[in-house]
Amino acid sequence: MKRTCVLYAIISIIGLSSCQQAGKGSETNMPDPQAEELFPKGNKITGKNFTGTAWLQMMIDNDSTLHAKMGNVTFEPEARTNWHSHPGGQILIITNGVGYYQGKGKPAQCLRKGDFVEIPPNTDHWHGAAPDDGFAHIAISLNTDAGDVIWLQPVTDEEYSQSIK
């Protein structure tokens, strides 16, 4: 856990300045799927577990061999997951754009292409795009015999604005 906290701290320090710069006068900037994306956007996500518009390209369904699940999620600006947790933990690998990860009770961390996040099991959190930028990440859910995801309440506009300012 110490390593994870150090990673969070480093990402926070680096991320805060770059995201503050990105927010100043930048135009809305969606990832270009032809030029930069590793994976296709896939299907628009429906249901109540996301705010705003996001897409999911499933890559590996949960199976009894790897005990893992993998997909690529693409968020439009301001789009984000609900609060949720993973009983077996998850890894995010950022492939495009600018966005945030926030663990409950901790500062939101700004994330860019090439960053990654280790999400410990049973940790309430959300992830999603910055207000003026699209965002895409690979999500690898681990140890899925323990369960995949527990969805919670939406991240309200007020929570979102407060967290990333």
Q: For a copy of itself, give the closer residue by CB, 136 or 155.
A: 136
Q: For a copy of itself, give the closer residue by CB, 57 or 81.
A: 57
Q: For a copy of itself, give the closer residue by CB, 95 or 102.
A: 95
Which positions touch a copy of itself (CB under 8 A)? 1, 3-4, 38-39, 59-61, 63, 65-68, 70, 89, 91, 93, 95, 113-114, 116, 118, 120-121, 138, 140, 142-143
How far from 9 is each of 2, 4, 19, 108, CA to CA, in Å?
Answer: 11, 9, 15, 11
How far from 2 is each of 105, 114, 119, CA to CA, in Å?
Answer: 17, 22, 13
Q: For a copy of itself, give the closer residue by CB, 22 or 70.
A: 70
User: Please, which contacts does 112-119 make with residues 24 or more away whose CB atoms are closer than 8 Å?
Assistant: 112/15, 112/18, 113/36, 115/11, 115/15, 116/91, 116/92, 117/7, 117/11, 117/91, 117/92, 118/4, 118/7, 118/89, 118/91, 119/86, 119/89, 119/90, 119/91, 119/92
Q: Shortest distance, CB of residue 59 to a copy of itself, whole angstroms?
A: 6
- In this structure, are residues 75 and 135 in contact, taking their beta carbons and an 8 Å threshold? yes
Q: Shortest distance, CB of residue 66 to a copy of itself, whole angstroms?
A: 5
Q: Shortest distance, CB of residue 28 to a copy of itself, whole angstroms?
A: 23
Q: Shortest distance, CB of residue 26 to a copy of itself, whole angstroms?
A: 22
Q: Shortest distance, CB of residue 89 to a copy of itself, whole angstroms?
A: 5
Q: For a copy of itself, give the closer residue by CB, 146 or 152.
A: 146
